[in-house]
Each structure stands twice: as C-alpha cells, then as structure tokens.
Amino acid sequence: MTAIQVRGLRKSYRGHAAVDGVDLDIRQGEVFALLGPNGAGKTTTVEILEGHRKRDAGDVDVLGADPATAGRAWRARLGIVLQTANDAAELTVRESVRHYAAYYPNPAGPDDVIEQVGLTAKADARVKSLSGGQRRRLDVALGVVGRPELVFLDEPTTGFDPEARRQFWELIRNLATSGTTILLTTHYLDEAEALADRVAVIAGGRIVAEGTPATLGGRSTAKATVSWLGPGGRETRTTDTPAALIRELGDHELPELTVTRPSLEDTYLSLIGAPR
C-alpha cells in the first residue's frame, strides 16, 4: 500500500527548475527521509505534497488524493510539523493542544497526546516558558492530535543538543510504531540513519539515489578499508573481501585493526557532488 506516489513532478521559478522530474513511492507505515542540500528542491517537493504549493507538471497522489484539489477531509488526515512554528506563547501546553484538537473531526484526547510526547509535567506551563526541545515536542503534539495517517517532519531537531535529539528520536520511533507514515527532511545524516526505513537524496531538483540507509548509493557493496598499525606506522588497504585480507595477514600482529565501509555521510556527499 502506497501513502505517496509521485511521477514526473516539476516546478520552476523564473525559468529555473527547482524540481525537475521527481519520482517517489512512499509506503504506508514507513519512515522515509528526504535528504538534500539547501536549494536542492526538497522543500518545494514537500510543500507540493502537503498541498501548499502548486506544481507545473507531474502526477501526485497523497493518501489517494491529489493535494492540489483535495479538501478539508483530506487535510485532516495529515499532520505537519514545520521547522519553525508560530504559537500562542501565552497559552498553556494543554490549552494549545485543545485548541488545535478542535479543528479535527476525530481528534485524540489532548491529555493523551501530551503524555505521548512527554509533556505531562508541563501541561499547565505557558508555551513561552518551554525549552527548545519541549517546544518541538509541543509542535509534534499539535501535528498528531488529529490522528493523522501521514506526518511531515521538517528538520525536527535543528538546534537540539545531542541528548535532546536522541530523546526526540525515541518520540518519532514511538509514533512510527503506531503505523503512522512519516516523511522526514533533515540535514543530520545520523538522524536519517537512526530513524528512516528508506531514504532518497535530491540534488539539482532530481532524485539521485534511493534505498535503505545501509544500501544507499551502493554503500553496502562498496570497497572496505582495512587499517592497522604496522611497524612503520599506520597501513591501509581497500578491498572487496576484507575477511580474506585479514586471514592473509593473520600471521602478523595487527594492532588497532579497523574495517570500515563508506559512511552514510560519505555516500551522501559523493551523491551531491560535495567535497569531502
């Protein structure tokens, strides 16, 4: 079952192709990460999928409807968590969630959602008093209170410290476990690797690679780098068969032995043509 299907998506601004023939298939219930540098076309693509921007060409199906013509009932099936949100700073957390819940035909209980995102202790605190991580949790609460089938997460952990990021990841994992489809945009490659079932890299308005984090861009079959500390210093070899090489070297001591393949970051930078 497909939550999102895109074929030949195109969008230009003043003659410049921001999105240039994008194809995407996102399955129901999966976490899908869309990666790309600034200006690559990912924001435009996501805004078209959300129904917030018109396309020039292509076919787009999101939850069985065309976002360009879908109505309120379709929008109620989506949850959108923007990178920056304008909130009512003087309201409490509970008041904010209750306010948003009133827009949906079958919302979840506000207190249940507040508990789900880990803000029960802050339910009566004013929004302006929350930390950055707590505000992002509130953003998620507002995005999921309508029981969405599909959630768009735009750079959800920008500016987080490492501990807050990992706490937020656990929140997203719990959301995914409930069967919600999640489309995630992020600049953090470790975030995509930790959360996404599949990833796609967009550059120059086109999808240049798609796959699981482990296989993206041929990563799983790339040559391995075997390195160890030899008598004359560190020695390094690249090989398709690292186990065989280690067996071949087995008659010698191999202190500080490491075997590595390209990281997701290495693969991503190569795909977008960035220097490493």
Residue 276 lies in a domain: no
Rounded to whole angstroms, the Cα distance separating 154 from 42 reads 10
Same domain, 156 and 236: no
23 residue type, one letter? D
> What region, left, alpha or beta, does residue 163 occupy, with left being phi > 0 and alpha being psi -120 to 50 degrees?
alpha
Same domain, 233 and 189: no
57 residue type, one letter? A
What pTM did the predictor assign?
Answer: 0.84
Domains of the chain: total:
2
Same domain, 194 and 235: no
Residue 248 lies in a domain: yes
Three-state DSSP class for residue 185: strand
Three-state DSSP class for residue 21: strand
Q: Which tokens go with 82? A: 């923007």
Residue 268 lies in a domain: no
Same domain, 150 and 250: no
Nearest to 7 by CA among 53, 50, 45: 45
Same domain, 164 and 246: no
Same domain, 135 and 156: yes
Residue 275 lies in a domain: no
Same domain, 48 and 114: yes
Nearest to 175 by CA among 81, 73, 48, 106: 81
Same domain, 176 and 73: yes
Same domain, 111 and 233: no
Mind giving me the DSSP string for 199-222? EEEEETTEEEEEE-TTTGGGGGGS
Cβ proximity of 60 and 67 under 8 Å: yes
Cβ proximity of 166 and 118 under 8 Å: no
Same domain, 112 and 248: no
Tens of pLDDT along the chain (276 residues)?
899 999 999 999 999 999 999 999 999 999 999 999 988 999 999 999 999 999 999 999 999 999 999 999 999 999 998 876 666 788 999 999 999 999 999 999 999 999 988 899 999 999 999 988 888 889 889 999 999 999 999 888 877 788 888 888 988 898 889 889 999 999 889 999 999 999 999 999 999 999 999 899 888 778 888 888 888 889 898 888 888 888 888 767 788 888 888 888 888 888 988 655
What is the CATH number for 211? Answer: 3.40.50.300
Whole-number pLDDT of residue 231: 82
Residue 8 lies in a domain: yes
Give backbone dihedrals phi and psi of 222, rounded to 5 degrees, phi first: -70, 155
Same domain, 58 and 174: yes
Residue 124 lies in a domain: yes
User: What is each CA distance from 145 to 20, 62, 116, 148, in whole angstroms?
Assistant: 34, 20, 10, 8
Range of the domain at 236: 223-260
Cβ proximity of 267 and 227 under 8 Å: no
Same domain, 172 and 77: yes
Residue 25 lies in a domain: yes
Residue 273 lies in a domain: no
